[in-house]
């Protein structure tokens, strides 16, 4: 386990934030279409408008009224006022270990996807799907571009889980009989990171929120 301490500053630091944006799929859709669709989205989602107003944007009606790039817009509207008053997800060594894995790109969820082996059944498929959603829900591999994942001021969004997905993944990590690849390079890495992720998901479940994964250098 000593090699978990061999972190370097070469890789970005990964964090897991509260995520409260139940209309995320619709938001991603309208950001790909017309200004009229985005205007209608704002009209239909007063909570989103309220969060934009709270950041000092006056009278946001059209996309051009909001000066942020898409990644920063997604991040800002995913935060409820209540979530800002809650403690951060995870703490102590769990948060530090998930922050930067001493291997490859330093991404702990990439590590799980590579070396955690789910069972060949429906529960295993759901487990893998949810981990993948947290890993790359905003990525170029899903959307064909980086405007949802790469923003100004060092913003890098990776993926997300809605609140119901958080509950589901937390249960599956505990109940599904997954195994570990024999090629795992870090001794005990999968079990350690799966447990650390469970702590993040447990905290999010208590706060009744989703989880957003992002990174910064």
pLDDT band at 17 (very low <50, low <70, confident <90, very high): very high
pLDDT band at 2 (very low <50, low <70, confident <90, very high): very low
Q: Are residues 51 and 132 in the same domain?
A: no
Count of the separate structural domains present in the chain: 2
Is residue 127 in some structural domain?
A: yes
Q: Are residues 129 and 167 in the same domain?
A: yes
Q: For residues 162, 166, 172 and 175, what is the CA-based torsion angle, rounded to 10 degrees?
A: -160
Q: Please tell me the pTM assigned to this model.
A: 0.91
Is residue 82 in some structural domain?
A: no
Q: Give the DSSP letter of residue 78.
A: T
Q: In this predicted model, what pLDDT tens digit does every residue of 102-111 receive, in sequence order?
A: 888 899 999 9
Helices (H), 20-162: 24-30, 35-44, 46-54, 70-77, 81-84, 92-99, 108-115, 122-136, 140-143
Q: In this predicted model, what pLDDT tens digit does every residue of 175-200 receive, in sequence order?
A: 999 999 999 999 999 999 999 999 99
For residue 162, what is the enclosing H or E element? Answer: none
User: Looking at 9-13, 86-90, 142-146, 147-151, which range is the least confident one?
Assistant: 9-13
Q: Are residues 7 and 113 in the same domain?
A: yes
Q: Are residues 173 and 192 in the same domain?
A: yes
Residue 10 is predicted with a pLDDT of 67
Domain boundary among 77, 103, 122: 77
Average of per-residue pLDDT across 45-65: 94
Say whether pLDDT at 141 is over 70: yes
Question: Which residue segment(s) compose the domain that 159 sits in?
Answer: 2-20+87-216
Q: Are residues 94 and 59 in the same domain?
A: no
Q: Are residues 116 and 203 in the same domain?
A: yes
Is residue 190 in some structural domain?
A: yes
Burial of 5 (0-12, 13-18, 19+ CB in 10 A): exposed
Say whether pLDDT at 96 is over 90: no
Please give the residue that has the higher pLDDT: either 93 or 53. Answer: 53
Which of the given ranges, 5-14, 17-26, 93-102, 122-131, has the highest pLDDT on average? 122-131
Please give the residue that has the higher pLDDT: either 155 or 67. Answer: 67
Q: Are residues 16 and 27 in the same domain?
A: no
Tell me what percent of the residues of the chain surpass a pLDDT of 70.
95
pLDDT band at 84 (very low <50, low <70, confident <90, very high): confident
Average of per-residue pLDDT across 20-28: 92
Q: Are residues 48 and 101 in the same domain?
A: no
């Amino acid at each position: 386990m000593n090699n978990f301490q061999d972190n370097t500053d070469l890789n970005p630091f990964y964090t897991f934030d509260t995520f409260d944006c139940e209309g995320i799929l619709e938001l991603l859709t309208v950001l790909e279409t017309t200004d009229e669709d985005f205007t209608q989205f704002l009209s239909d989602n007063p909570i989103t408008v309220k969060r934009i107003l709270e950041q000092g944007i006056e009278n946001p009606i059209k996309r051009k009224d909001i000066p942020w790039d898409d990644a920063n817009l997604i991040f800002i509207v995913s935060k409820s006022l209540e979530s800002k008053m809650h403690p951060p997800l995870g703490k102590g060594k769990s948060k530090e270990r998930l922050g930067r894995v001493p291997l490859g790109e330093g991404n702990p969820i990439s590590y799980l996807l590579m070396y955690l082996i789910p069972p060949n059944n429906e529960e295993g498929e759901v487990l893998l799907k949810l981990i993948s959603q947290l890993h790359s829900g905003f990525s170029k591999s899903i959307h064909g571009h980086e405007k949802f994942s790469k923003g100004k001021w060092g913003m890098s969004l990776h993926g997300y889980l809605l609140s119901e997905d958080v509950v589901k993944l937390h249960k599956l990590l505990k109940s599904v009989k997954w195994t570990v690849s024999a090629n795992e390079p870090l001794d005990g890495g999968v079990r350690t990171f799966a447990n650390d992720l469970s702590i993040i998901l447990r905290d999010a479940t208590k706060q009744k929120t989703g989880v957003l994964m992002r990174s910064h250098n």
